């Protein structure tokens, strides 16, 4: 699904040159749930931004779902991002003056879906995260956990093959965090590849595979995915978020 080989990313100003990623290689297979861990400033977010086609890289090779993205134009990157990738952010990043329906609608609009198709997808996505009855509500009327579930619905509505989550539970209390994580696991079980950046070892432990990043390099990784057990308590908690 995602393969980066010997990738590097250098930020340059006229005074300073910063190597955010160096000789960075990773291979995420279709349907995997991978947690990327590492301390602050290690390059996790840079990796996620490059994986999400939000930033370009300096050197190396990057194949996304078999497509070589090196040298790809801005429009083509936007299209590819819109079609294949869903984002979940730590700060939810919902648009405050759009209701839930319209927030989930945003990526679908850019995808060019017809109105009826968009409505169906939005209904399904909000139903899946348990918020269909609140689609006319505004983000400010929801709890943090509910807002993150709307963000997940927005990421899912376009049926992406890859979900990128940047500290998805960082702004949530433990109960809400468990619910969101449980939801991500369910999404993964349905076939969507998930890459989650986190500095929380407990969360990382729930993923199938861990990749540890330090100083812009992968320092430790599991080659094969682990078997994951279903956490029934967490699934119960989901309904209460």
Partner 1 sequence: MFSYYFQLGLRSLKRNPVLTALMVLGIALGIAASMTSLTLMHIMGSDPIPWKSERLHYVQLDNWDPNQPYDQEGNPPDQVSYKDAQALMEAAKADRQAAMFKVALPIQPENPEVKPFLSLGRATYGDFFAMFEPPFAYGGGWDHAQDAQHGRVVVLTKETNEKLFGGQDSVGRRVRMDGIDYSVVGVLAEWRPRIKFYDLTNGALAEPEEFFVPYTTIIEQKKQASGNNSCWNNTAPGWEGYLASECIWQQFWVQLDSPAKAADYKAFLDDYVNEQKKLGRFPRPLNNRLLDVNQWLQNQKVVPKDVQVQVGLSFAFLAVCLINTIGLLLAKFTRKSGEIGLRRALGASKPQLFAQHIIESSVIGISGGAFGLLLTFGGLVLVRVLYKDYANVAHLDWTMVATTVVLSTLAAVLAGLYPTWRACQIAPAAQLKTQ
Q: Please give the residue ranges that form the binding site for partner 1 (CB under 8 A).
A: 45, 49, 52, 54-55, 74-75, 78-79, 81-83, 87, 89-91, 93, 95, 97-98, 106-107, 109-111, 154, 158, 166
Question: Whose Cβ is closer to partner 1: residue 95's or residue 205's?
Answer: 95
From the CB of 124, what's the least distance to partner 1, in Å? 18
Question: Whose Cβ is closer to partner 1: residue 53's or residue 237's?
Answer: 53
- Contact at 8 Å (CB) between 194 and 163? yes
From the CB of 84, what's the least distance to partner 1, in Å? 10
From the CB of 123, what's the least distance to partner 1, in Å? 19
217-221 and 209-214: which strand pairing?
Answer: antiparallel
Question: Whose Cβ is closer to partner 1: residue 10's or residue 98's?
Answer: 98
From the CB of 77, what's the least distance to partner 1, in Å? 9
Backbone φ and ψ for 22, nearest 5 degrees, come out as -140, 130
Strand residue runs (E) in the chain: 2-12, 17-28, 33-37, 59-64, 67-68, 85-88, 162-166, 193-197, 209-214, 217-221
Question: Whose Cβ is closer to partner 1: residue 33's or residue 113's?
Answer: 113
- Sequential DSSP letters for 100-120: HHHHHHHHHHHHT--HHHHHH
- Contact at 8 Å (CB) between 42 and 213? yes
From the CB of 92, what's the least distance to partner 1, in Å? 8
Question: Whose Cβ is closer to partner 1: residue 50's or residue 207's?
Answer: 50
Q: Any residues with CB less than 8 A from the CB of 106 and at least 6 apart, and which?
A: 95, 98, 154
């Amino acid at each position: 699904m995602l393969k980066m080989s010997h990738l590097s990313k250098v930020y340059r100003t006229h005074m300073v040159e910063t190597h955010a990623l160096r000789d960075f290689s990773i291979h995420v297979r279709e349907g995997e749930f991978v947690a990327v861990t590492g301390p602050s400033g290690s390059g996790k977010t840079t990796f996620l931004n490059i994986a999400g086609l939000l930033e370009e890289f300096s050197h190396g090779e990057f194949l996304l779902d078999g497509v070589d993205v090196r040298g790809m134009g801005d429009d083509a990157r936007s299209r590819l991002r819109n079609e294949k990738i869903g984002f979940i952010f730590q700060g939810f990043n919902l648009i405050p003056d759009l209701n839930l329906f319209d927030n989930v609608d945003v990526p679908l609009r850019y995808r060019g879906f017809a109105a009826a198709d968009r409505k169906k997808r939005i209904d399904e996505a909000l139903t899946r995260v348990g918020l269909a009855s609140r689609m006319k509500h505004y983000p400010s009327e929801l709890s943090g956990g509910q807002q993150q579930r709307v963000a997940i619905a927005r990421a899912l509505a376009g049926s992406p093959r890859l979900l990128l989550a940047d500290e998805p539970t960082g702004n949530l209390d433990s109960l809400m965090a468990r619910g969101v994580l449980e939801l991500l696991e369910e999404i993964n079980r349905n076939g969507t590849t998930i890459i989650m950046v986190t500095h929380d070892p407990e969360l990382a432990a729930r993923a199938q595979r861990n990749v540890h990043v330090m100083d812009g390099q992968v320092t430790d990784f599991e080659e094969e995915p682990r078997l994951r057990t279903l956490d029934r308590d967490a699934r119960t908690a989901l309904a209460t978020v």
